[in-house]
Chains A and B, each alone.
Chain A
Amino acid sequence: MLLHNLMQWMADTEWSVGLHESRYAYSIIESVHVWTLCLFVGFAVFLDLRLLGVTLKRVPITQITERLLPWTKVAFVLMVVSGLLLFFAIPLRTYHNVFFRLKAVLLILAALNAWVFHNGSMYRRLAEWDDAAGTPRAAKIAGAASLALWVAIIFSGRMIAYNWFDCDKPEPALVDLVAGCVR
Chain B
Amino acid sequence: MLLPYFQALEAGPIGEAIRQSTWLFPFIEAFHLVGLAVIGGAVLLVDFRLLGLGLKRQPVAELARDAQPWVIGGLLFMIASGFLLFLAESIKCYYSFAFWTKMTALALAILFTFTVRRRVTLADEARVGPFWMRIVGATSILLWSTVGWGGRWIGFS
Residues on A close to B: CB < 8 A? 27, 30-31, 34-35, 37-39, 41-46, 55-59, 63-64, 67-68, 71, 150-151, 154-155, 157-159, 161-162, 164
The listed residue (A41, A58, A162) touching B37 by CB distance below 8 A is: A41
B152 within 8 A of A: yes
Q: Which residue of B lies closest to A156 (CB)?
A: B30
Please report which residues of chain B, range 69-102, place their CB below 8 angstroms from some CB of chain A when the two chains form the complex: 69-70
B66 within 8 A of A: yes
Residues on B close to A: CB < 8 A? 22, 26-27, 29-30, 33-34, 36-45, 48, 53-58, 62-63, 66-67, 69-70, 145, 148-149, 152-153, 156
Q: Which residue of A lies closest to B145 (CB)?
A: A35
Q: Which residue of A lies closest to B151 (CB)?
A: A34
Instruction: Given A31-B153, A154-B30, answer yes or no on A42-B37 (Cβ-Cβ < 8 Å).
Output: yes
Q: Which residues of B contact A59 (CB under 8 A)?
A: 55, 58, 63, 66
Q: Which residues of A contact B66 (CB under 8 A)?
A: 55-59
Q: Which residues of B contact A161 (CB under 8 A)?
A: 26
Docked Cα-Cα span, A161 to B37, in Å, equals 19
Which of B38, B41, B42 counts the most chain A CB atoms within 10 A?
B41
Q: Which residues of A contact B42 (CB under 8 A)?
A: 42, 46
The listed residue (B38, B40, B55, B62) touching A39 by CB distance below 8 A is: B40
Docked Cα-Cα span, A146 to B152, in Å, equals 25
Evaluate contact between A45 and B156: CB separation under 8 angstroms. no
Evaluate contact between A162 and B26: CB separation under 8 angstroms. yes
Evaluate contact between A46 and B45: CB separation under 8 angstroms. yes
With both chains docked as a complex, state the minimum distance between the C-beta of B94 and any C-beta of chain A, in angstroms: 21
Q: Which residues of B contact A64 (CB under 8 A)?
A: 55
Evaluate contact between A63 and B57: CB separation under 8 angstroms. yes
Instruction: Given A27-B156, A58-B58, A71-B48, answer yes or no on A42-B38 (Cβ-Cβ < 8 Å).
Output: yes
Q: Which residues of B contact A157 (CB under 8 A)?
A: 33
The listed residue (A30, A45, A159) touching B38 by CB distance below 8 A is: A45
With both chains docked as a complex, state the minimum distance between the C-beta of B73 and any C-beta of chain A, in angstroms: 11
Evaluate contact between B57 and A41: CB separation under 8 angstroms. no
With both chains docked as a complex, state the minimum distance between the C-beta of A35 and any C-beta of chain B, in angstroms: 6
The listed residue (A37, A43, A58, A63) touching B36 by CB distance below 8 A is: A37
